[in-house]
Amino acid sequence: MLVLAATPIGQVGDAPPRLAHELATADVVAAEDTRRLKRLTTDLGVTITGRVVSYFEGNESARTPMLLDSLLAGERVLLVTDAGMPSVSDPGYRLVVAAVEHDVRVTAVPGPSAVLTALAVSGLPVDRFCFEGFLPRKAGERKRRLADLADERRTMVFFEAPHRTEAALAAMAQALGDDRAAAVCRELTKTHEEVRRGPLAELVAWAAEGVRGEVTIVVAGAGPAAAIANDPASLRAAVAALEADGTSRKEAIVEVARRAGVPKREVYNLVHGGGHGAQERP
């Protein structure tokens, strides 16, 4: 059996009760950082009796077959990452897929999650949401990703590194609008926990002073007004705006057509002067 175990994102007291038992009884404990695992077991007063192996981004591909062999041999493998639930922006997905493909049972020890904790305290709608993980580090790729999310109606949750938080918020403000509501959740459940709520433009100014610690960003989804108006002037302007941000004209036409719900050819003709496209509104 493969057991995915959530670990505290801040206070060790948040560890699920089953975690200590699983750590003490597993045949194999795969840990993202064995040094952090040692600190965790010390804090929990647990002695690991099984084998401990490292399992992190750099060796995940190579270690997965070895752990799969242990599972197929009938061993109980426990996977823990530095904080939160394994496989959610952390190592684990490859091993889960391999286990499922070989009919190995996969279960989890539920517990702390930065995604759900940030969503719950953000003050933004929680009935529908999506998790977007980390934005791309390169500015161009980040702009394209956010452009794809411009008309996302669900609340969005992101992870971000503290030194990239200002740049990420600025890119969000440019793509989603300065007045889009958001919350930056820093050091969740820890001593210096902080939740800053406000429009993106205001949060950009706050982040300019420097951000420390683990960061989760929650952003409100688009309202009905975020959709591109289906008239020639709006369609042309939308394409021009994307091009100004570095998107190729071809990609901009495809994106605007998708958001407006019109054929790509119609937007193409408008941009290149080959047709009237959507009917002008009176």
User: Per residue in 22-65, pLDDT tens?
Assistant: 999 999 999 999 999 999 999 999 999 999 999 999 999 999 99
pLDDT exceeds 80 at position 269: yes
Residue 282 within any structural domain of the chain: no
Residues 6 and 15: their CA atoms lie apart, in Å, by 8
For residues 244 and 217, state if they share a domain: no
The model's pLDDT over 197-251, given as tens digits with 9 standing for 90+, comes to 999 999 999 999 999 999 999 999 987 545 555 678 878 888 888 888 788 999 8
- Judged against a pLDDT cut of 90, whether residue 118 lies above it is answered with yes
**Quick check: 16 pLDDT over 50?**
yes
Mean pLDDT over residues 145-165, rounded? 95
Mean pLDDT of 243-260: 83
Q: Dump pLDDT digits (tens) for 164-209.
A: 999 999 999 999 999 999 999 999 999 999 999 999 999 999 999 9
Domain of 85, in residue numbers: 2-112
Same domain, 181 and 213: yes
Per-residue model confidence (pLDDT) at position 278: 42
Helices (H) and strands (E) in the chain, counts: 11, 10
My answer on whether 156 and 168 are in the same domain is yes
Domain assignment of residue 279, yes or no: no
Give the end of a domain, one of 64, 96, 112.
Answer: 112
137 and 215 fall within a common domain? yes
Q: How many residues does the chain have?
A: 282
More confident residue, 132 or 243: 132
pLDDT number for residue 263: 85
Give me the chain's average pLDDT, please.
91
Q: How many CA atoms lie within 13 A of 65 on its CB side?
A: 2
The tally of domains found in the chain comes to: 3
> What percent of the chain shows pLDDT beyond 90?
77
pLDDT of residue 279: 40
Instruction: Please say which residue of 91, 112, 133 terminates a domain.
Output: 112
Q: What percentage of the chain reaches a pLDDT higher than 70? A: 94
Could you report how far apart the first and last alpha carbons of the chain are, in Å? 66
Outline where the chain has alpha helix (H). 17-25, 34-44, 60-72, 93-101, 114-121, 139-148, 165-176, 200-207, 232-244, 249-260, 264-272
| Mean pLDDT along residues 59-79 | 97
- Between 273 and 21, the more confident residue is 21
The overall pTM is greater than 0.75 = yes
Q: pLDDT at position 277, please?
A: 44
- Structural domain ending residue among the three candidates 112, 128, 163: 112
Side-chain half-sphere of 223: how many Cα atoms within 13 Å? 6
CA triplet 163, 167, 168: central angle to 5 degrees? Answer: 95
Across-strand partners of 129? 155
Inform me whether the pLDDT recorded for 281 exceeds 70. no
User: What token pair was written down for 103?
Assistant: 């009919």
